[in-house]
Amino acid sequence: MLAALIIVFREVFEAGLIIGIVLAVTGSVPHRNRWIGGGVLAGVLAACVVAAFAGALSQLFAGMGQELFNSAILAIAVMMLTWHNVWMAHHGREMAGEMRAVGLAVADGTKSLLALAVVVGVAVLREGSEVALFLYGVVASNGGSAANLAIGGFIGLALGAAVCLLTYFGLMRIPQRALFATTTALITLLAAGMAAQAVAFLERANWLNSLDTVIWDSGWLLSETSIPGRALHTLIGYTDQPTEMQLLVYVCVLVVTFLLMRLTGSQRTDRAVAVG
């Protein structure tokens, strides 16, 4: 039971952190629960589909289907997160300048919610397919311990939900004025980390061999598989043995996001931040 709990919790943990952040980011947006709930539900369904076809997926691209699939959905999440940040910078300025009809702004807000719902769906999909495979295996083997394992699995799931709530309420304690800057920074780091993970998957698939020398090994200081290591891995993309390409892509995402935000949100940035 404990083994099942740990396996499931480890997988749900990452999705929990991401959903918590997204909930905090969308704090006061109307209908946000519907969108995020939809993202979670779509993620769970997609995870079951992926789990059901895991064998077939592996066989694609000379056995590298899983890796390429993972890097593709991570790339989608990176684009959605970056787009959200840039949109927020832009939108905040417009609100400050009162140049736009409120109705339009609300419609745009829905677009941004859609992007974040996709991010949530992707997070749930990535972690959920492994949980689904594991729990399916437990049920299929249907030994006397199956019920026990299933209980462990569900406790793991509940703990993952607790991580999500802790992240959310933790972020909500930040004063409103600082919250926008904090969540923008969090989302940017999240995107950069996901981009670096996408690179790691391409490297494993042997699709990307340039600059694949490991720069440092900080495993002795903070192992990527420990709980703090995992949390940092999700939040800022910490990895104990990054390759040159991973670091390069990581920095590129940070710089590009920063530049795009400056370009779209220039001039009245100060007031925009206060409003946003």
Q: Where does this chain bind other proteins (CB under 8 A)? A: 3, 7, 51, 54-55, 58-59, 62-64, 66, 86, 99, 129-130, 133-134, 136-137, 140-141, 203-212, 223, 225, 241, 245, 252, 256, 259-260, 263-264
CA distance 12 to 160: 5
Q: What is the smallest separation between the CB atom of 109 and other proteins, expressed in angstroms? A: 18
Rounded to 5 degrees, φ, ψ at 214 are: -75, 130
* Chain centroid, CA 187 distance in Å: 9
Q: What is the smallest separation between the CB atom of 185 and other proteins, expressed in angstroms? A: 21
Q: What is the smallest separation between the CB atom of 175 and other proteins, expressed in angstroms? A: 31
Q: What is the smallest separation between the CB atom of 118 and other proteins, expressed in angstroms? A: 18
Cβ pair 190, 235 in contact under 8 A: yes
Which residue type occupies 105? A
Q: What is the smallest separation between the CB atom of 67 and other proteins, expressed in angstroms? A: 8
Nearer to other proteins, 179 or 254 (CB): 254
Rounded to 5 degrees, φ, ψ at 243 are: -90, 165
Nearer to other proteins, 141 or 176 (CB): 141
3-state SS of 232-249 is HHHHHCCCCCCEHHHHHH
Which residue type occupies 73? I
Nearer to other proteins, 120 or 261 (CB): 261
| DSSP designation for 8 | H
Nearer to other proteins, 29 or 256 (CB): 256
Nearer to other proteins, 184 or 257 (CB): 257
Q: What is the smallest separation between the CB atom of 165 and other proteins, expressed in angstroms? A: 27
CA distance 99 to 82: 24
Please identify which residue in the block is written with the tokens 């290591």.
Answer: 229
Nearer to other proteins, 63 or 228 (CB): 63
User: 243 forms bridges with which residues in the sheet?
Assistant: 214
